[in-house]
Structure 1
Amino acid sequence: MAKSSKDITITVNKDEVATDVAALAFIERGTTMVPLKVIQSIPGIQVAWSNSTKTVTAVRDKETITLVAGQKSAFIGNKKVDLPVASQLKQGRVMVPLRFIAEAVKAYVGWNPYTRDVFVVKATPEMIAKTQSDNLAEARKATLELPTVRTLKPITQIQEVTIPDHTYYFPEGRADQVFMTTGSGIEYLEAVGGRLEQKWIAKLGDQGAKGPYLVTSRIVEEAGAQPKITTGRVVFFRTFWKIGSAEYGFINQNGEVTTLGQHDMPSSYEFFEVPGEKASK
C-alpha cells in the first residue's frame, strides 16, 4: 500500500491538537514524533523546556521524566531507559517521541495507519467511575461520552442519513458494550480503561445473510472482529432527533423485535430506564 501523504492528526481525549507547519508530527523509524504542545495537552502533566541544556522535563504525580535533545536515552525518575528515537530539534522546535512520554505518564496511545490519526487518552478516575454507575442509563451516557479510539480501516461509502438518527444497541444489563447504526453502517465499540474502542465496523446492504443477530441486512464490507453477544437479549434505542425521542425495546437471539414504546430523548446519549431489563451478572 502506498504511503499516505496526509498530515498526522493527533487527538488528546476528545480534542484535536493543532500544530503549526514548523512543528507537524512525523514518523521516524516507526515512532511518532510530536511537538511539546501535544504533550502539554495531556491532562495532569506539567512540561518544561530548557533551551540552555536542551532538556525536556515532564512531571506527573511527583514523578519526573527527562529527555535531552539528541540523546537516545531518557530518565523516568532515577531509572535510565532507552528511546526508540532521540528527541530532536526541527526548525527551532523540540520534537519528542509521543508513545514513550504518554505511556510513562500512564496515558493510552492508539494509531490508525489508514487515516494517520493518533489517539491519546488519559482518563480520570471520575470519568471511569461514571461508566460504572449503578444507574444503567447514566452509565451508558458516560460510556458514550468517553474519548473514542478508531484504529480500524475505514469503510468507504457508508451512507449517512441527512439528520443523524442513530440506533444504539446494548447487551441487556450492560453499559460497556454498544453497537451503533446510522445510514448504511454499523459499528461495535467497547469501553476499555476509560476509552471507547472501535472493535468492528461494517457496511450493510440489502436484506440477506446476518452478522450479529441484531443485523438483518447483508454485510457488504467489514473491518475488525465481528463480536459475539453473550447475553440473551439486546436493548435498543432508535432515536428520532427531529422530535427528541427514541423508540425502545428488546431483540432476542432469534432476531425477534419487541418494541415497548417511545420515550423522550432530547439530546445525545440521554438514555432512560427500559422496563423489564435485567441487570447483567
Structure 2
Amino acid sequence: MKLKSFLLICFSMFFVVSTVQAATTISISVNGTTVKTDVAPFIENGTTYVPLRSVEQIEGLSIKSWNNKTKTLIISDPSKSMTFRVNNQSQSDSPLIKNNRVMVPIRFIARNFSSDVAWNAYTKTVHVAKINDKEKANLKSEDITESRIAAINIPIISTLKELTAGESSAGYFQLMFPEGESKNFFTIQNGIINHYQVKENAAWLTWSGIIGGNKNTNTFWVTNTDISSEVGQRPTSKDRLFFYNISEHSGQSQHGYISTNGEKTILGSKDMNSLNDLYPIPEEELKH
C-alpha cells in the first residue's frame, strides 16, 4: 500500500466528516467507501435502516432470494445463510417496507455476518467493516511485521468527533507501535496524534489529540502537558514505543524508540516507499 494512499484514507474520513455534518442525511460507509443509494437510509425507533441492496457491498454478502408473496428474504455469505421476514412494526432485527422499498436493519445484519459496525453520531454515518480470510490470517500472523502491515491496511472506523488539524507535517508521517505489539498503534501527522485499536475487521480510532505548544510529542502517553485538546480515551503503555518517521518525499524511514520516560532514541534509517515496505527493528523485544 502506498504511503500517500494510507494518508488519504486516514484523513479522507475526516474530509467526508465536514461534508456530511452540513447535511441531515445518513451515510453508509463500508470498508471506508461511501455507499451510494437511490433511497435515503433512515432511523426508526433507534434502528438504522438501509436499502436492501446496500448489504451486498459488505464483503462476501449477497441477496440469495426474495419472496414477494411471503415478504421473506435470504441473505448469505460463503459460510451461512439467514432468513428474514418483513415486519412493519419496526423491530430491530426485521426488515420493513417503506415507500414500496425493502429496508433492512444494517447493524443487525452486519453483526450477524461477522462484521464490525458502528454509528458515528457526529457525522451521521454508519460504519461497516468486513475483511476477507486472507487479511484476517495476516493480522494473526506470527511474523509481527506482517501482522503490522495488515493492521495499517484494514478499514478504519471512528465514532469520535473530528479534531481540526494543526500545522502541516510537510510530507512527514509518524507510525508507532508499543513494543512487540501489532494490534494497536499510533499515527502523528499535521499536529494530530491518533490511536487505533485493531478489532476483528477494522482499526478503530479510540483517541485523538492535538499537539500542544511545546511541540514535545514524546511524552503524550506519559503526561498530558503536551496535548492541548483530545477526544476519546487516552491509551497508556508500560512499554517502549517503536516508531517509523516516514518521509513521503525522500522515500526513507527513520526508526527508533521512545522510552517510558519519553526519551527518544534514533536507531537508524532505511528506504521505505510504501507502508508495505514496513520492516522489523532488530532492537525491539518481540512479544507477538
TM-score w.r.t. the length of structure 1 is 0.85
User: 2:237 and 2:96 mapped to 1: Cα distance?
Assistant: 48
Q: Give, as a single letter, the amino acid of the residue that structure 2 aligns with 1:24.
A: A
Q: Give, as a single letter, the amino acid of the residue that structure 2 aligns with 1:37.
A: R
> Is contact 2:175-2:186 (8 Å) kept?
yes
Aligned-residue RMSD, C-alpha: 2.4
Which residue in 1 is equivalent to 2:207? 200
Q: Which runs of 5+ in 2 are unaligned?
A: 1-20
Say yes or no: does 1:127 pair with 2:135. Answer: yes
> Is contact 2:171-2:249 (8 Å) kept?
no
User: 1:67 and 1:164 mapped to 2: Cα distance?
Assistant: 52
Going from structure 1 to structure 2, the CA distance change for 1:69 and 1:40 (only over 3 Å counts) comes to farther
Which of 244, 250, 257 is the aligned partner of 1:250? 257
Of residues 258-267 and 97-106 in structure 1, the stretch that sits farther from structure 2 once superposed is 97-106
Say yes or no: does 1:149 pair with 2:157. Answer: yes
Q: Give, as a single letter, the amino acid of the residue that structure 1 aligns with 2:265.
A: T
Percent identity of paired positions between Structure 1 and Structure 2: 31
The equivalences for 1:86-105 within 5 A come to: 87-105=95-113
Going from structure 1 to structure 2, the CA distance change for 1:86 and 1:190 (only over 3 Å counts) comes to closer
Say yes or no: does 1:30 pair with 2:38. Answer: no
Which residue in 2 is equivalent to 1:76? none
Which residue in 1 is equivalent to 2:57? 41
> Is contact 1:172-1:278 (8 Å) kept?
yes
Which residue in 2 is equivalent to 1:116? 124
Which residue in 1 is equivalent to 2:9? none
TM-superposition CA deviations, 1:64-85 (whole Å, max 9, x none): 222225255xxxxxxxxxx337
User: 2:264 and 2:80 mapped to 1: Cα distance?
Assistant: 54
Secondary structure class of the residue paired with 1:19:
coil
TM-superposition CA deviations, 1:116-154 (whole Å, max 9, x none): 111112233321210122322221111001111111121
TM-score w.r.t. the length of structure 2 is 0.83
Q: Give, as a single letter, the amino acid of the residue that structure 1 aligns with 2:191.
A: S
> Is contact 2:176-2:187 (8 Å) kept?
yes
User: 1:51 and 1:216 mapped to 2: Cα distance?
Assistant: 59
The equivalences for 1:45-194 within 5 A come to: 45-47=61-63, 48-60=65-77, 61-68=79-86, 70=88, 83-84=91-92, 87-155=95-163, 157-159=164-166, 161=168, 163-194=170-201
Aligned residues: 264
Larger strand proportion, structure 1 or 2?
1
Secondary structure class of the residue paired with 2:168:
coil
User: 1:133 and 1:243 mapped to 2: Cα distance?
Assistant: 30
